[in-house]
Amino acid sequence: MFIISLYKDLTDGYSSFNNSKLDPIQQTYSKEHKIKSSIVAVRVQPGDTLLSITEQINQPLPELDMKQIMFDFKAINPNIDPFDLEIDSIYYFHKY
């Protein structure tokens, strides 16, 4: 139910592509952490990884473990392998 709701919010909240790498999408609340976070659309550049993008959009990066980052990524990007991001594709990332 959470993923369906999140998917609907993301698809309704994101209207078009632009040339910037970061594009804020929507505010949401993480039930696991009870913290406020937003979701950011990022166009992957050569050399980018899940961790490098997460670090880039979360300056300074709060204490998070890699399992939680992967869990959050998979929740908002279903059926995407976080170890195989495609260059020039857009994925959603949490801004904690």
Report whether 61 contacts 17 (CB < 8 A). Answer: no
The pLDDT mean for the chain works out to 76
Q: For the chain, what are the domain ranges?
A: 2-95
pLDDT at 64: 75
Per residue of the chain (96 residues), give pLDDT as tens.
566 665 555 555 443 334 445 554 444 444 444 456 789 999 999 999 999 999 999 887 667 788 989 999 999 999 999 999 999 999 999 988
Torsion, Cα 43 87 84 42, to 10 degrees, reads 0
pLDDT > 90 fraction of the chain, expressed in percent and rounded:
47
pLDDT > 70 fraction of the chain, expressed in percent and rounded:
60
Cα(82)–Cα(78) distance, integer angstroms:
10
pTM of the full predicted structure?
0.61
